[in-house]
Amino acid sequence: MLVVVTGVSGTGKTTLGMGLSQALGLPFLDADQFHPPANIEKMGRGEPLTDADRQPWLAALASKLLDIEKQGGAVLACSALKNTYRQQLQVSDQLRWIHLTGSRDLIWERMLARQNHYMKAGMLDSQLSIWEKPSSGKLIDISGTPAQVLEASLHYLTQQEMKMNMGVIGMGVMGKSLALNLAENGVSVSLYNRFVAGKEEGIAQKVLDENPEFAQTAAFEDLQAFVTSLATPRRILMMIPAGAAIDAQLDALIPLLGKDDLVIDGGNSFYLDSDRRVNRLKEVGMHFLPMGVSGGEEGARKGPSIMPGGNAEGYALVEDFLGRISAKDKDGKPCVTYVGPGGSGHFIKMVHNSIEYGEMQVLAELVHLLRFGFGCSAAQVSEIFSDWGKGELKSFLLEITADLLLFKEGGELLLDKILDQAGQKGTGAWSLTTALEYGIPYSPLAEAVNARGVSGEKAMRVAFSKTFQHEFQPVEGALETWLPKIKEAYALARIINHEVGFRLMKTVSDAKGWDLNFNEIARIWTNGCIIRSGLMERISANYADPISFFEMAGVKEQVISGRKNLAEIVGLALTKGFALPVMSAGINYLLGRITAESSASVIQAQRDYFGAHTYQRKDDSSGKFYHTQWTNS
């Protein structure tokens, strides 16, 4: 066992550490002995250490802990005031934390009584000012006697030994992948999957049997045993279907949990349901994190983009663990952030998926146009997309589309054997209804949802194609002439898709007081998630509220230069019989947004004519509403 006793100077770390050392039969280490001479001299002069001062000290301690673990363990007394320091020292999932806390007056009194110690009493306030509440381990108050503090520490260590740091419920594709990701990154994990005779038996154990390299894991089919296996405060990640299943699982879990325990919903739940569940667990003294996870099976296993909302205190309990398993951005920073309160984490995942729908549909539209309008082979389209992906248009979806256009089965293109009926799981439609609720124009991304609905009516489409004798017409002119225009049209369509999604996020954030950080949201979407791209990197670096997305650096120029090409490509495709629902809606949306004088005056006149709904006038800025008697009858 490795035990680290933390706290500001004067809390009794050395006294407790030596007591634990004797009781557990482990060697005792004092972190102060690992400070370089320069640090000791600085503290002796009453000067607080900086983070830079502490780095070599923390590195030496981490190295020592790794070495001593191989020899059976130790007890280390170390201030470790910040969670970042503690993360550097978390070299093993066998390491246990005890954090000593107490009133300033009590600690001050003890420090004044110490003799010949280089840490002066006057530095107490500087330590208290940077101390952060721990995200794991046991907080023990020092107001009791040293014997009582030792007894409480031993009780905790005895109870926590062999307890798991995280629990994962649901061993489907995503649940299993995230559980293995946690285990591979040094987090001990309990796995739970329900028992259904003849249908779901031994599912969690099968995951362990298939991955014997992860020793710090355990499998359960009994929910009570699963909960009991977890260290407190318990941290449980649910990876089960959205909807009634989430509430049913909470009904079963809550009676087994205690104050300050944490439950995470890592599925695609509707954000308003998540709002309600946050409040439900808050009422019983627990934490709930509605958490979006993007990246698919491979991302979940190797590093997804993670979007937790809910209680900030709950996020602190798993910040370290989520940072370990997430993807990393170009600067090596984890692609996870605390999004905001309530269901905001699930909300931005919903919008992420809506943008994803739009991006996928635009690529599908272009594949169809290039293959059957311009006569390109699948390999040629793949080459075009691969070439685009080498520049600013790079994206995960562009990359995989180029790949799938080359995949063959039995010597034939697999893509041509796949039934053209697109499925969906609801997040795209939720985004559309939310946009309607908040009055946000959403036509390009709405068309991505509608296109999947149209695709599902396969039998009707086949019948109508015969009834109306519909055939694609070839495009005249060389592809080389059209390709630069197609590329610019694609670039602008993507910008429009993202503008629509970010505008919805901004509107709802303002209305609900979430204060979402869109640069940070874009940053965690630069890697791990499905819509990661060069465009997302640009958004992360340049988006600044409250400017419009279209006014962002480098985007305005593309809107100006690309809109004619997008309109031309859409017009070309439509005249040749190709449906481009998202690209068509995109150019209409853009033109509507940048048109100073629109046709809406006709709508207002019509409304007033038949319903006396009134209208305002351009020549009256007072805001007055008018009604006209349009006929003499």
Residues 132, 97 contacting (CB under 8 angstroms): no
Give Cβ neighbours of residue 49 (< 8 Å, ≥ 6 apart): 39, 42, 43
Burial class (CB in 10 A: 0-12, 13-18, 19+), 210: exposed
- Euclidean distance between CA atoms 134 and 89, whole angstroms: 13
| Catalytic residue (choose from 138, 176, 349, 487) | 349
Of 2, 260, 13, the closest CA to residue 127 belongs to 13
- Euclidean distance between CA atoms 108 and 10, whole angstroms: 7
Of 624, 630, 632, the closest CA to residue 605 belongs to 630
Residues 306, 326 contacting (CB under 8 angstroms): yes
* Six token digits for residue 419: 């039934």
* Six token digits for residue 134: 């721990």
356 in catalytic set: yes
Residue 463: HSE in the Cβ half-sphere, 13 Å Cα cutoff = 4
466 in catalytic set: no
For residue 259, CA distances in Å to 245, 263, 282, 284 come to: 23, 12, 10, 7
- Partners of 168 in beta bridges: 191, 237
Residue type, 243: G
* Edge-to-edge order in the sheet of strand 2-6: 28-30, 74-77, 2-6, 95-101, 138-141
* Six token digits for residue 540: 């992360």
- Euclidean distance between CA atoms 537 and 194, whole angstroms: 41
What backbone torsions phi and psi does residue 200 show, to the nearest 5 degrees?
-130, 95
Residues 6, 78 contacting (CB under 8 angstroms): yes
* Six token digits for residue 128: 């208290």
Of 134, 155, 136, the closest CA to residue 144 belongs to 155
- Euclidean distance between CA atoms 562 and 255, whole angstroms: 58
Residues 397, 359 contacting (CB under 8 angstroms): yes
| Catalytic residue (choose from 319, 356, 488, 537) | 356
- Euclidean distance between CA atoms 423 and 400, whole angstroms: 18
Number of C-beta neighbours around residue 609 at 10 A: 13
Burial 439-456 (b: 16+ CB within 10 A, else e): ebbbbbbbbbbbbbeebe
Of 134, 136, 135, 108, the closest CA to residue 123 belongs to 108
- Euclidean distance between CA atoms 460 and 468, whole angstroms: 12
DSSP letter assigned to residue 230? B
- Euclidean distance between CA atoms 473 and 490, whole angstroms: 21
What are the catalytic residues? 349, 356
